[in-house]
Amino acid sequence: METNKARAIKVRTAGLVDAGEITRVINSAFRLAEGFFIDGDRINLEEVVKLFSTGTILLAETDGDVVGCVYVEPRNSQLARSYLGLLSVDPGQQQSGLGSLLMGAAEDYCRRAGSQYMDIRVVNLRNELPAFYRKRGYIETGTSPFPPDIETKVPCHFIEMSKALTPTL
C-alpha cells in the first residue's frame, strides 16, 4: 500500500493471520500510554478477530515485523463517515513519525472507499492527543462517556473529534 523507503516501513492491510501481532502491538502501546489511569490489557485476541468483521486494520511493518497498526470502520453510509481507532505504535518506535504515517494511510484508505469524514475519540486524560490530532486537521465535536464496564483509576471521558476528508487530486 505505502512505503517509506528511508526507513523501510511498509503499510498494508492486515489479515486474520496478523491478529496475534496486532494484539501485541495494541496492548504494548496502550499499556505505556494509559497505564497511569487503567490497569490490564486494552484488547484481547478474540476482540481483534471481531474487528475484521466490522472494519479494516492497517499494519506498519519494518523488516517483516509489525511495528504499528490502526483500525478504520465505515460508520454512516448516508453521511460517508468512517471511524478511526486503536492507533498503536510499538513503544520502541514511538516519536518516529510512524503514528502520522499510519494516520495518513488510514485517511487515504477511507477517502478511496468514499468517506468524506473521519471521526475519532480520545481519552481526555491523554493531554497530548487533542493537539496531535488538531495538527492533522481534526476539530473537537463533543464528548461522550467512558465505557462504564471498564474500571479506571480516575474518572475520565472521551473527546470526540472529526475531520473532513477532502478528495485528493
CB 78 within 8 A of CB 126: no
Per-residue pLDDT of 22-50, as tens digits, reads: 999 999 999 988 989 999 899 999 999 99
- Per-residue pLDDT, 32: 86
- Confidence class for position 79, pLDDT limits 50, 70, 90: low
- Per-residue pLDDT, 3: 46
- Per-residue pLDDT, 51: 98
Per-residue pLDDT of 101-116, as tens digits, reads: 999 999 999 999 999 9
By CB atoms closer than 10 A (0-12, 13-18, 19+), residue 80 is: middle
Residue 155 sits at φ, ψ, to 5 deg, of -60, 145
Enumerate domains of the chain plus CATH numbers. 2-120 (3.40.630.30)
